C-alpha cells in the first residue's frame, strides 16, 4: 500500500525538514495604471475558484504552452529561468496574475513590451503596457532566478516540491510544486503544453516528462531538451537532475519507455527496482484492459536515490519514485511492483482525466488504489472483494479512518489513508451493487 509506508516513514523524519522560506521579492511598483485605454478592461482573478486553495490558478486567461528555459547549478542550488508563456485571454485584461512563490523576478514582457508587476507571497500580478482584449492570444516572457521554493506535503510535513539533492534536484509535489520554480497558472483546471530546456553543468543529466529531443554541450554546460508532447496539469511537470542509469526500451505493444534510475542505487535494491520497472508493459496491459488504452505516447520511471524522499508521484508519462518503496524497515530489498501499478494507474486517473477541485482527490487516489487491487488479482494473490473484506475487518469501528469524509477531506487530510483505502472500498462497494457489466461499462 503506497501511502502506509509513505506515512510511517515520514513520521519518523518529520523533524528533519528544512523549508526554504522565500517570500516577496518585489518588482517595479505596480500602483500605476497600464498605459492606454483601461476603460473596459478588467483584472484577472488571483484564483481559479478552488474552494481548498482560493489563490491557486488564476482567472481571465488560459495557458496554451509553457516554454521553460532554465539553468540549474547544483553547486549553488540557483535556478536561472526564462519562462515563455503563450496564453489566450478569456476576459479583457488590464492586469492578470500568475502563481509564483519565492524566486526573484528580473523582467517581464507581454507581447514584447515591458510590463510592470507586483508580488505577494503566492501571486505575481502582471500589468501589461497595453491591455489584452478578450479572445486574443498573448505571450508573456518572465526572466527570474533564485533558489527554488520547497513545499511540504499537506498534513505530513515531509519535503516536496523542487527539492535540491546532494547530486542535483528532484521535482515532485502535489498540489504544490510548480509555482516554486516557474510562473504558472497553477491548477489542474488549466492544462497546457510544455517544453523544457534545462541546462546543467556538464556531467549532470536531466530527465523530465515525455521525450528527450536534444542534448548539446557548450563551454562546460549541457542543455537537455525535453518534450512532454501531451498537455498536462502543472503539478505533473518534473525535471530531475542528477546521475542516472538510463534504460530505453519498448513494451510489447511498442510503447517507448525511458527509465532513469539514480546511479547510486546498486546491489539487491537495484535488482528489485529493475525487476518492477521491467514489468511496466505488463502493468499497462492489465490497466489498459480495465480502463481503456494508455493515454500517452511514452512511459517510464524516475527512481531517486535520496534518503529523504518519502513518496512517489504520478508525474505525467514518467512517475517519480522514492527508492524506499523497494526496501523494508531493515533495509532489505522487497517487491515494489504495486507502487508502479499505483503511479501508472494515475496516468488515467489524475493525469489524463484531471481534477477540477483538489477536494475531489479521492477520484485520483481511490482509483489508483483500486488498480493495486486489480493487480493483486492478476498476480493471483486475492480478489478485490477479498481485499475489501479484509480491509473492512481489519479496521476497528471506532478508528478515525471511518470519520474522514473522503469527498471533502479538508486540506490537512487531503492525502489521508482514508482517501486511498476508503476510495478503493467505495469503488468495490459500487461494483458489488451495480454488477460487473455496468461497473466496467
Ligand atoms: N499522489 C501521490 C501518490 O499517491 C502521493 C502524494 C500525495 C504526493 N501528496 C504528495 C506525492 C505530495 C508528492 C508530493 O502516488
Ligand atoms: Zn496516488
Percent of the chain with pLDDT over 70: 91
Around ion ligand 2, which residues have CB less than 5 A away? 365, 368
Give the model confidence (pLDDT) of 24-44 as tens digits.
333 333 333 444 444 589 999
Testing ligand 1's pocket by substitution, the residue of 311, 340, 344 carrying the most ligand atoms inside 8 A of its CB is: 311
* pLDDT band of 349, cuts 50, 70, 90: very high
Q: Residue 172 pLDDT more than 60?
A: yes
Instruction: Compute, in angstroms, the gap from residue 151 CA to the centroid of ligand 1.
Output: 12
Closest CA to 35 of 130, 138, 109: 130
Q: Which atom of ligand 1 is nearest to the CA of 312?
A: 15
Testing ligand 1's pocket by substitution, the residue of 151, 162, 312 carrying the most ligand atoms inside 8 A of its CB is: 312
Q: Residue 350 pLDDT more than 50?
A: yes
Give the model confidence (pLDDT) of 92-113 as tens digits.
999 999 999 999 999 999 999 9
Please compute the mean of the pLDDT values over residues 254-276 and round it to a whole number: 98
Q: Residue 9 pLDDT more than 50?
A: no
Give the model confidence (pLDDT) of 176-222 as tens digits.
999 999 999 999 999 999 999 999 999 999 999 999 999 999 999 99
Q: Which atom of ligand 1 is nearest to the CA of 160?
A: 14
* pLDDT band of 128, cuts 50, 70, 90: very high
Beta strands at 137-146 and 104-110: parallel, antiparallel or unpaired: antiparallel
The closest ligand to the CA of 175 turns out to be 1
Question: Is the C-alpha dihedral spanning 375, 379, 380, 381 positive or negative?
Answer: negative
The residue nearest atom 9 of ligand 1, judged by CA position, is 174
The one-character DSSP state at 257 is: E
Contact 155, 412 (CB under 8 A): yes
The residue nearest atom 13 of ligand 1, judged by CA position, is 173
The C-alpha cell at 171 is 521535482
What pLDDT is stored for residue 39 in this prediction?
Answer: 58
Testing ligand 1's pocket by substitution, the residue of 316, 415, 418 carrying the most ligand atoms inside 8 A of its CB is: 415
The closest ligand to the CA of 151 turns out to be 1
Residue owning grid cell 516554454 = 67
Instruction: Compute, in angstroms, the gap from residue 275 CA to the centroid of ligand 2.
Output: 21
Please compute the mean of the pLDDT values over residues 427-433 and round it to a whole number: 98
Residue owning grid cell 518534473 = 238
C-alpha dist (Å) from residue 85 to 243, 288, 307: 30, 34, 35
The residue nearest atom 11 of ligand 1, judged by CA position, is 313
Residue 88 makes CB contacts below 8 A (sequence gap 6+) with 61, 62, 64, 135, 136, 137, 138
Strands (E), 281-355: 299-304, 320-322
What pLDDT is stored for residue 156 in this prediction?
Answer: 81
| pTM score | 0.91
Q: Residue 8 pLDDT more than 80?
A: no
Q: Residue 10 pLDDT more than 90?
A: no
The residue nearest atom 5 of ligand 1, judged by CA position, is 313
The one-character DSSP state at 349 is: B
Q: Residue 5 pLDDT more than 60?
A: no
The C-alpha cell at 5 is 509506508
The radius of gyration of the chain from alpha carbons, rounded to an integer in Å, stands at 22
Testing ligand 1's pocket by substitution, the residue of 10, 52, 153, 188 carrying the most ligand atoms inside 8 A of its CB is: 153
Residue 127 makes CB contacts below 8 A (sequence gap 6+) with 30, 32, 33, 34, 94, 95, 115, 116, 117, 118
The C-alpha cell at 223 is 542543455
Instruction: Compute, in angstroms, the gap from residue 350 CA to the centroid of ligand 1.
Output: 11
- Give the SS3 label for residue 113: strand
Which of 6-10, 332-336, 402-406 has the lowest average pLDDT? 6-10
Instruction: Compute, in angstroms, the gap from residue 312 CA to the centroid of ligand 1.
Output: 6
The closest ligand to the CA of 363 turns out to be 2
Percent of the chain with pLDDT over 90: 89
What pLDDT is stored for residue 113 in this prediction?
Answer: 98
What pLDDT is stored for residue 159 in this prediction?
Answer: 95
* pLDDT band of 155, cuts 50, 70, 90: confident
Pocket of ligand 1, beta carbon within 6 A: 2, 153, 160, 172-174, 311-314, 342-343, 365, 415
Closest CA to 258 of 272, 244, 237: 244
Please compute the mean of the pLDDT values over residues 309-318 and round it to a whole number: 97
Contact 320, 305 (CB under 8 A): no
Please compute the mean of the pLDDT values over residues 381-408 and round it to a whole number: 98
The one-character DSSP state at 55 is: T
The C-alpha cell at 169 is 534536484
Q: Residue 64 pLDDT more than 70?
A: yes
Burial of 318 (0-12, 13-18, 19+ CB in 10 A): buried
Contact 89, 138 (CB under 8 A): yes
Q: Residue 376 pLDDT more than 70?
A: yes
Q: How far out from the chain centre does Cα 211 lie?
A: 17
Average pLDDT over all residues of the chain: 92
What pLDDT is stored for residue 25 in this prediction?
Answer: 31
What pLDDT is stored for residue 18 in this prediction?
Answer: 26
Q: Please compute, for residue 270, the number of CA atoms within 13 A of its CA located in the half-sphere on the CB side.
A: 11
The closest ligand to the CA of 178 turns out to be 1
Instruction: Compute, in angstroms, the gap from residue 119 CA to the centroid of ligand 2.
Output: 33
Residues in the chain, overall count: 441
The C-alpha cell at 165 is 539533492
169 vs 27, which has greater pLDDT? 169
Residue owning grid cell 469501528 = 397
Which of 33-37, 231-235, 354-358 has the lowest average pLDDT? 33-37
Contact 111, 139 (CB under 8 A): yes
Helix (H) or strand (E) holding 438: helix 436-439
- Give the SS3 label for residue 106: strand
Contact 346, 364 (CB under 8 A): yes
Amino acid at each position: 500500500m503506497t501511502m502506509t509506508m509513505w506515512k510511517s516513514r515520514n513520521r519518523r523524519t518529520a523533524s528533519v525538514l528544512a523549508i526554504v522560506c522565500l517570500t516577496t521579492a518585489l518588482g517595479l511598483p505596480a500602483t500605476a495604471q497600464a498605459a492606454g485605454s483601461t476603460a473596459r478592461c478588467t483584472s484577472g482573478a488571483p484564483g481559479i475558484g478552488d474552494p481548498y486553495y482560493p489563490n491557486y490558478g488564476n482567472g481571465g486567461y488560459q495557458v496554451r504552452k509553457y516554454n521553460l528555459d532554465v539553468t540549474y547549478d547544483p553547486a549553488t542550488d540557483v535556478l536561472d529561468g526564462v519562462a515563455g508563456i503563450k496564453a489566450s485571454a478569456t476576459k479583457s485584461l488590464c492586469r492578470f496574475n500568475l502563481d509564483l512563490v519565492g524566486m526573484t523576478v528580473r523582467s517581464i514582457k507581454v507581447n514584447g513590451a515591458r510590463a510592470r508587476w507586483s508580488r505577494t507571497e503566492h501571486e505575481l500580478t502582471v500589468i501589461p503596457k497595453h491591455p489584452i482584449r478578450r479572445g486574443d492570444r498573448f505571450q508573456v516572457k518572465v526572466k527570474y532566478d533564485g533558489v527554488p521554493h520547497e513545499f511540504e506535503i499537506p498534513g505530513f510535513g515531509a519535503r516536496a516540491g523542487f527539492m535540491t539533492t546532494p547530486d542535483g534536484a528532484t521535482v515532485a509535489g502535489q498540489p504544490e510544486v510548480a509555482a516554486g520554480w516557474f510562473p504558472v497558472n497553477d491548477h489542474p483546471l488549466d492544462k497546457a503544453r510544455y517544453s523544457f530546456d534545462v541546462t546543467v553543468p556538464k556531467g549532470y543529466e536531466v530527465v523530465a516528462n515525455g521525450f528527450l529531443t536534444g542534448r548539446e554541450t557548450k563551454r562546460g554546460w549541457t542543455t537537455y531538451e525535453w518534450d512532454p508532447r501531451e498537455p498536462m496539469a502543472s503539478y505533473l511537470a518534473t525535471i530531475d537532475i542528477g546521475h542516472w542509469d538510463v534504460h530505453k526500451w519498448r513494451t510489447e505493444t511498442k510503447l517507448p519507455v525511458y527509465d532513469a534510475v539514480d546511479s547510486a542505487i546498486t546491489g539487491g535494491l537495484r535488482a528489485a527496482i529493475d525487476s518492477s520497472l521491467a514489468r511496466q508493459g505488463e502493468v499497462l496491459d492489465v490497466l489498459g484492459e480495465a480502463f481503456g488504452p494508455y493515454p500517452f505516447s511514452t512511459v517510464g520511471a524516475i527512481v531517486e536515490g535520496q534518503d529523504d524522499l518519502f513518496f512517489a508521484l504520478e508525474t505525467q508519462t514518467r512517475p517519480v519514485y522514492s527508492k524506499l518503496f523497494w526496501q523494508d524497515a531493515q533495509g532489505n530489498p522487497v517487491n515494489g511492483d504495486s507502487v508502479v501499478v499505483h503511479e501508472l494507474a494515475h496516468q488515467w486517473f489524475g493525469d489524463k482525466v484531471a481534477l477540477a477541485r483538489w477536494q475531489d482527490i479521492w477520484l485520483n487516489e481511490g482509483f489508483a488504489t483500486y488498480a493495486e487491487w486489480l493487480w493483486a488479482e492478476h498476480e493471483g494473490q486475492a480478489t478485490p472483494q477479498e481485499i475489501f473484506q479484509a480491509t473492512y475487518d481489519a479496521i476497528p469501528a471506532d478508528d478515525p479512518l471511518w470519520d474522514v469524509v473522503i469527498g471533502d477531506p479538508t486540506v490537512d487530510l487531503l492525502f489521508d489513508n482514508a482517501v486511498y483505502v476508503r476510495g478503493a472500498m467505495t469503488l468495490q462497494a459500487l461494483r458489488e451493487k451495480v454488477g460487473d457489466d455496468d461497473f466496467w461499462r
